[in-house]
Chain A
Amino acid sequence: MKKLSFLLLLLLISAPVFAERLFNIPQPDDLDLVEEKRLLNAVETAQKAVRNAPDDAEVWGQLGHVYLIHRWEVPAIACYRRANSLAPDEFRWLYLLGRLTTRREPEAAVKYLNRARTLNNAYAPAHLYLAAALRTLGKLDEARQHLESAKRIQPDNPFSELWLGEIALTQRQMKLAQTHLGNALRLNPKQSEAHALMAQVAIALGDKQAAKQHAQAARHTTEYGELSDPVWREVLQAGVTAPLYAERGRRYMTEGNYASAVAEFEVLISRTQKDIDVWLNYGVSLLHIKRYGEALAALKHVQTLLHSDKDVQKEKNPHEIAYLQAQSYNHIAQIYYETGQPDAAILTSKKAIQLFHNNVRNSQPSDKARDPEYTTFLANVHANLALTYEDIGQLEQASAQYQKALELLPTKSALHRDLAGVYWKMRRYAEAEPHYKIVIADEPSDVQAVYRLGLIFLTKGDYEMAIARFEKAIELDSAHGPAYEAMGIAYQEIGDIPSAIEAFEKRLQLEPGNRKALEMLKQLRQLK
Chain B
Amino acid sequence: MSGNHFFTKLCTATFTIATILLWTGRAEADEPLFSEVTAALGFSQTATTWPPGTHALPEIVGSGVALLDYDSDGDLDVLHIRFPPPGKENSAAPNRLFQQRSNGTFVDVTEAAGIGHPGYGQGVAIGDVNNDGHVDVYVTNYGPDAFYRNNGDGTFALEDVGLSNNAWGTSATFGDYDSDGDLDLYVANYVQFDPETICRGKHSAPDYCHPSVFEPMTDRLFRNTGDGTFTDVTQQAGIAAVSGRGLGVVCLDFTGDGWADFYVANDGEANHLWVNQTDGTFAEEAILHGLAFNAYGQPEASMGIAVGDVNKDAQPDLFITHLFSETNTLYIAANDSMFIDMTEITGFTGIGLPFTGFGCGFLDFDNDADLDIALVNGRVKRGAILDGAALGKFWNFYAEPNLLFQNSHQPSDKDRNFTRNLFAEGFQRFPTAHFSDVSARAPDFTGRVEVSRGMAFGDIDNDGDVDMVVSSHDNRLRFFRNDAPPPEHHYLFVQAITQNRDAYGAEVTLRADSRTLTGYVLPGTGYLSSSDPVVHFGLGAIDKIEAIEVRWQDGKRERFPGTTSNRRITVYQGEGVAF
Which residues of A approach B to under 8 Å, CB–CB? 28-30, 33-36, 39, 69-72, 74-75, 103-106, 136-141, 162-163, 166, 170-173, 192-197, 199-200, 203, 211-212, 214-215, 218-219, 239, 241-244, 314-315, 317
User: Are B288 and A211 in contact (CB-based, < 8 A)?
Assistant: yes
Residue of B nearest to A67 (CB): B203
Chain B residues lying within 8 Å of A36, measured Cβ to Cβ, are 203-205
User: Are A39 and B293 in contact (CB-based, < 8 A)?
Assistant: no
User: Are B353 and A104 in contact (CB-based, < 8 A)?
Assistant: yes
Whether A138 contacts B205 in the complex (CB less than 8 A), given A29-B397, A104-B350, A193-B296, comes out as no
Q: B409 on the interface (CB 8 Å rule)?
A: no
Chain A residues lying within 8 Å of B422, measured Cβ to Cβ, are 138, 140, 170-171
Q: List 5 A-B contacts (CB under 8 A).
A: A34-B205, A74-B384, A194-B297, A218-B270, A243-B202
Residue of B nearest to A34 (CB): B205
**10 closest A-B pairs by CB:** A193-B297, A196-B297, A36-B204, A138-B418, A215-B287, A70-B203, A138-B422, A33-B205, A172-B426, A197-B297
Could you say which of B204, B345, B418, B427 contacts A242, with CB atoms under 8 Å apart? Answer: B204
Could you say which of B206, B215, B290 contacts A200, with CB atoms under 8 Å apart? Answer: B290
Could you say which of A71, A172, A196 contacts B201, with CB atoms under 8 Å apart? Answer: A71
Could you say which of B215, B293, B350 contacts A218, with CB atoms under 8 Å apart? Answer: B293
For the complex, would chain A's binding face be called helix, strand, loop or mixed by DSSP majority? helix
4 further interface pairs, Cβ-Cβ under 8 Å (given A136-B349, A243-B200, A244-B202): A140-B424, A239-B202, A241-B200, A314-B196
User: Are A139 and B421 in contact (CB-based, < 8 A)?
Assistant: yes
User: Are B338 and A203 in contact (CB-based, < 8 A)?
Assistant: yes
Residue of A nearest to B415 (CB): A138
The CA-CA distance from A171 to B429 in the complex, in Å, is 12
The CA-CA distance from A74 to B397 in the complex, in Å, is 13
Chain B residues lying within 8 Å of A136, measured Cβ to Cβ, are 344, 349-350
Least Cβ distance of A47 to chain B in Å?
15
For the complex, would chain B's binding face be called helix, strand, loop or mixed by DSSP majority? loop
The CA-CA distance from A141 to B420 in the complex, in Å, is 12
The CA-CA distance from A170 to B340 in the complex, in Å, is 9
Whether A34 contacts B194 in the complex (CB less than 8 A), given A104-B353, A170-B423, A197-B297, comes out as no
Chain B residues lying within 8 Å of A317, measured Cβ to Cβ, are 215
Render B338-364 as a binary contact track against A, CB cut-off 8 A, 1 for contact.
Answer: 100000110001100110000000000
Chain A residues lying within 8 Å of B205, measured Cβ to Cβ, are 30, 33-36
Could you say which of A106, A172, A197 contacts B349, with CB atoms under 8 Å apart? Answer: A106
The CA-CA distance from A166 to B344 in the complex, in Å, is 14
The CA-CA distance from A138 to B413 in the complex, in Å, is 13
Chain A residues lying within 8 Å of B424, measured Cβ to Cβ, are 140, 171
Q: B292 on the interface (CB 8 Å rule)?
A: yes
User: Are A140 and B421 in contact (CB-based, < 8 A)?
Assistant: yes
The CA-CA distance from A106 to B327 in the complex, in Å, is 13
Could you say which of A141, A171, A194, A195 contacts B426, with CB atoms under 8 Å apart? Answer: A171
Which residues of B approach A to under 8 Å, CB–CB? 194, 196-197, 200-206, 215, 242, 270, 285, 287-288, 290, 292-293, 295-298, 325, 338, 344-345, 349-350, 353-354, 382-385, 397, 417-419, 421-427
Whether A219 contacts B350 in the complex (CB less than 8 A), given A197-B297, A241-B204, comes out as no
Whether A137 contacts B418 in the complex (CB less than 8 A), given A166-B296, A218-B287, comes out as yes
Least Cβ distance of B347 to chain A in Å?
11
Least Cβ distance of A409 to chain B in Å?
27
The CA-CA distance from A315 to B287 in the complex, in Å, is 30
The CA-CA distance from A316 to B198 in the complex, in Å, is 15
User: Are A30 and B426 in contact (CB-based, < 8 A)?
Assistant: no
The CA-CA distance from A135 to B196 in the complex, in Å, is 43
Least Cβ distance of B554 to chain A in Å?
28
Residue of A nearest to B336 (CB): A203
Least Cβ distance of B65 to chain A in Å?
30
The CA-CA distance from A39 to B206 in the complex, in Å, is 14
The CA-CA distance from A219 to B349 in the complex, in Å, is 26
User: Are A34 and B288 in contact (CB-based, < 8 A)?
Assistant: no
Chain B residues lying within 8 Å of A242, measured Cβ to Cβ, are 204
Whether A29 contacts B384 in the complex (CB less than 8 A), given A34-B204, A170-B422, A172-B427, comes out as yes
User: Are B350 and A28 in contact (CB-based, < 8 A)?
Assistant: no
User: Are A215 and B426 in contact (CB-based, < 8 A)?
Assistant: no
Chain A residues lying within 8 Å of B384, measured Cβ to Cβ, are 28-29, 74-75
The CA-CA distance from A236 to B341 in the complex, in Å, is 34
The CA-CA distance from A136 to B418 in the complex, in Å, is 10
The CA-CA distance from A138 to B427 in the complex, in Å, is 13
Least Cβ distance of A258 to chain B in Å?
24
Residue of A nearest to B424 (CB): A171
Residue of A nearest to B385 (CB): A29
Chain A residues lying within 8 Å of B425, measured Cβ to Cβ, are 171-173
Least Cβ distance of B350 to chain A in Å?
6
The CA-CA distance from A70 to B422 in the complex, in Å, is 36
Chain B residues lying within 8 Å of A170, measured Cβ to Cβ, are 295, 422-423, 426-427
The CA-CA distance from A173 to B197 in the complex, in Å, is 47
Whether A315 contacts B270 in the complex (CB less than 8 A), given A35-B204, A166-B295, A199-B287, comes out as no
Residue of B nearest to A216 (CB): B287
Residue of A nearest to B349 (CB): A136
Residue of A nearest to B429 (CB): A172
The CA-CA distance from A172 to B197 in the complex, in Å, is 46
Chain A residues lying within 8 Å of B287, measured Cβ to Cβ, are 196, 199, 214-215, 218-219
Interface-central residue, B196, B270, B297, B422, by most chain A CB under 10 Å: B297
User: Are B296 and A70 in contact (CB-based, < 8 A)?
Assistant: no
Residue of B nearest to A239 (CB): B202
User: Are A314 and B204 in contact (CB-based, < 8 A)?
Assistant: no
Least Cβ distance of B288 to chain A in Å?
6
User: Are A215 and B288 in contact (CB-based, < 8 A)?
Assistant: yes
The CA-CA distance from A166 to B340 in the complex, in Å, is 13
The CA-CA distance from A166 to B422 in the complex, in Å, is 12
Residue of B nearest to A215 (CB): B287
The CA-CA distance from A486 to B426 in the complex, in Å, is 63
User: Are B423 and A171 in contact (CB-based, < 8 A)?
Assistant: yes
Whether A193 contacts B204 in the complex (CB less than 8 A), given A30-B382, A215-B287, comes out as no
The CA-CA distance from A138 to B288 in the complex, in Å, is 25
Could you say which of A103, A203, A211 contacts B353, with CB atoms under 8 Å apart? Answer: A103
User: Are B297 and A103 in contact (CB-based, < 8 A)?
Assistant: no
Least Cβ distance of A179 to chain B in Å?
16
Could you say which of A74, A166, A315 contacts B297, with CB atoms under 8 Å apart? Answer: A166
